[in-house]
């Protein structure tokens, strides 16, 4: 049986021919993401803004009666609920702000939960309360802060590592493609208004790791080839390196996408957003390792001679004496 080859041997695609259109596309998508994040905002979950979330599954109905729920809960006088379906149409999350003064008196929040749960179950016999999350304002501030810290430190630690391991141009290239990937994932969440909670932060940190992983594999090869083919023009060298690692890039992205799609489609709906974030992250990370990370090196002035130590006068004499040009 012949072996399956996703990328034929000696593939030589001129990736860098498309470097300008893809750059424009990347920049446009990033701008669009920032605009969306600015205008729509992220739909922060109770983890980050505090409040209460009740998860309900309607076991007998196909689609949850969101409109009915909204008016029923509004009538209870705890303010306006934010109701949205999570993953499948018969599951909803209902978010409420914590009642006034619940910082001092925890009983108020409990009472609200009980009232709302009882009310839902009295109106909808097939409603199953799947869970309740209640986060005080103080804790949510802390969670937001620690999440921001985790992201910040991760970016910092990784830059230090790359700077240590590669030349500065590679470090900048890796950072740019990383920012690109994370921005697009955030843009997706601003566009869809999916719940942005702690698990999404975990997903973004993973995308960060993956984006870098991908970039490093390509960079590793570029560095190797820079030493090997001193005279090859930069564009050609980048194309060669990307093509040489293409089989690996495609295979790994494919396996990750297979498992994550299984998780998205067959897995529990609670982690729908998490899986979706990872899938998009892996797609854009793969794309950016080719189209952002590699061309960045040209723009940053990496040439075949960048990493050759400058020749001393004595060495030059010796070289000429050996009869080399």
Partner 1 sequence: MLDFPRWKQIWLWAITLLAALASVPTLVTQFGGQWPSYLPNPEVSLGLDLAGGSYLLLEAQQGDVAKQKLEGMAETVRTKLHDSNIRIGDVSTSDGKVSFMLENPSQVDAARQALLPALSGAGSVQEWRLDVLDGNRFVLTLTQKGLEQDINLAMDSATDVVRKRIDALGTKEPTIVREGANRIMVQVPGLQNPQALKDLLGKTAQLQFKLVDTTALQSDIAQGIVPPGDEVVPYAPGTSGAGTQIAVKRLGGIRGDELTKAQQTNKPQTNEPVVSIQFNSQGAEKFARLTTENTNKPFAIILDGQVISAPNINEPILGGSAIIEGNFTTETANQLAIQLNSGALPVKLTVVNQSTVSAELGADSIHKGAIAMIVGALAIVFLIAAAYGRFGIYADFALVINVFMILGIMAVFGGTLTLPGIAGFVLTIGAAVDANVLINERIREERRRGRKAFQAVDLGYKEASRTIFDANITHVIAATLMFMFGQGPIKGFAVVLMIGIVTSVFTAVYLTRMWVALWLRRARPADLKV
What is the footprint of partner 1 within residues 155-214 (CB under 8 A)? 157-158, 161, 165, 198-199, 201-202, 205-206, 208-210, 212-213
How long is the chain? 325
Residues 239-278 that bind partner 1 (CB under 8 A): 244-245, 247-248, 251-252, 254-256, 258-263, 265-268, 270-271, 274-275, 278
CA–CA separation, 222 and 150 (whole Å): 30
Min CB(312)–partner 1 separation in Å: 29
Min CB(63)–partner 1 separation in Å: 19
Binds partner 1 by CB under 8 A, chosen from 85, 136, 235, 304: 136
Binds partner 1 by CB under 8 A, chosen from 42, 49, 82, 154: 154
Q: Is residue 236 near partner 1 by the rule CB under 8 A?
A: no
Residues 36-65 that bind partner 1 (CB under 8 A): 55, 57
User: By the 8 A CB rule, do 150 and 201 touch?
Assistant: yes
Question: What are the DSSP calls for 72-100, one per residue?
Answer: HHHHTTS---EEEE-SSTTEEEEEEPPPT
Q: Which is nearer to partner 1, 36 or 203 (CB)?
A: 203
Q: C-alpha distances in angstroms, 13 versus 10, 135, 238? A: 10, 52, 11
Q: Which is nearer to partner 1, 34 or 267 (CB)?
A: 267
Q: Which is nearer to partner 1, 76 or 271 (CB)?
A: 271
User: By the 8 A CB rule, do 47 and 194 touch?
Assistant: no
Q: Is 142 helix (H, G, I), strand (E, B) or coil?
A: helix
Q: Which is nearer to partner 1, 6 or 35 (CB)?
A: 6
Binds partner 1 by CB under 8 A, chosen from 72, 110, 119, 236: 110
User: By the 8 A CB rule, do 238 and 169 touch?
Assistant: no
Instruction: Using alpha carbons, select from 21, 22, 36, 101 the residue that is nearest to residue 291.
Output: 22
Min CB(318)–partner 1 separation in Å: 31
Binding-residue total with partner 1 (CB under 8 A) = 72
Q: What is the largest CA-CA distance in the chain?
A: 97
Q: Is residue 216 near partner 1 by the rule CB under 8 A?
A: yes
Residues 283-322 that bind partner 1 (CB under 8 A): none
User: By the 8 A CB rule, do 139 and 47 touch?
Assistant: no
Binds partner 1 by CB under 8 A, chosen from 69, 135, 182, 292: 135
Q: Is residue 150 near partner 1 by the rule CB under 8 A?
A: yes
Q: Is residue 129 near partner 1 by the rule CB under 8 A?
A: yes
User: By the 8 A CB rule, do 228 and 236 touch?
Assistant: no
Residues 7-26 that bind partner 1 (CB under 8 A): 9-10
Q: Is residue 223 near partner 1 by the rule CB under 8 A?
A: no
Q: Is residue 101 near partner 1 by the rule CB under 8 A?
A: no
Min CB(117)–partner 1 separation in Å: 10
Q: C-alpha distances in angstroms, 290 versus 123, 137, 169, 218, 304? A: 55, 43, 16, 8, 19
Residue with the two structure tokens 């309360």: 129
Q: Is 207 helix (H, G, I), strand (E, B) or coil?
A: helix
Binds partner 1 by CB under 8 A, chosen from 17, 123, 138, 227: 138
Instruction: Tell me 301's DSSP state.
Output: T
Min CB(32)–partner 1 separation in Å: 26
CA–CA separation, 203 and 207 (whole Å): 6
Q: Is residue 106 near partner 1 by the rule CB under 8 A?
A: yes
């Amino acid at each position: 049986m012949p072996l399956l080859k996703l990328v034929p041997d000696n593939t030589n695609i001129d990736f860098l021919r498309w470097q300008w259109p893809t750059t424009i596309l990347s920049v446009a998508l990033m701008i669009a993401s920032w605009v969306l994040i600015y205008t729509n905002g992220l739909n922060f979950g109770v983890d980050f803004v505090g409040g209460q979330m009740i998860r309900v599954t309607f076991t007998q109905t196909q689609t949850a009666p969101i409109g009915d729920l909204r008016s029923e809960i509004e009538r209870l006088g705890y303010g306006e609920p934010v109701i949205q379906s999570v993953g499948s149409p018969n599951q909803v999350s209902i978010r409420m702000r914590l009642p006034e003064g619940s910082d001092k008196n925890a009983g108020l929040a409990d009472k609200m939960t009980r009232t709302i749960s009882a009310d839902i179950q009295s109106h909808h016999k097939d409603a199953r309360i799947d869970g309740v999350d209640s986060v005080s304002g103080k804790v949510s501030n802390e969670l937001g802060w620690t999440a921001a810290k985790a992201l910040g430190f991760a970016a910092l630690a990784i830059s230090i590592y790359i700077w240590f391991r590669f030349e500065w141009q590679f470090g900048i290239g890796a950072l740019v493609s990383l920012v690109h990937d994370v921005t697009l994932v955030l843009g997706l969440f601003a566009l869809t208004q999916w719940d942005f909670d702690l698990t999404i932060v975990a997903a973004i940190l993973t995308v960060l790791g993956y984006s870098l992983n991908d970039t490093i594999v390509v960079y590793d090869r570029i560095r190797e080839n820079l030493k090997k083919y001193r005279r090859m023009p930069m564009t050609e060298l980048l194309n060669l390196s990307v093509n040489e690692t293409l089989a690996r890039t495609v295979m790994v992205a494919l396996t990750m996408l297979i498992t994550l799609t299984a998780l998205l489609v067959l897995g529990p709906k609670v982690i729908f957003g998490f899986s979706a974030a990872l899938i998009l992250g892996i797609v854009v990370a793969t794309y950016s390792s080719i189209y952002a990370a590699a061309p960045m090196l040209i723009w940053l002035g990496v040439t075949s001679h960048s990493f050759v130590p400058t020749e001393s006068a004595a060495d030059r004499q010796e070289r000429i004496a050996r009869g080399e040009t």
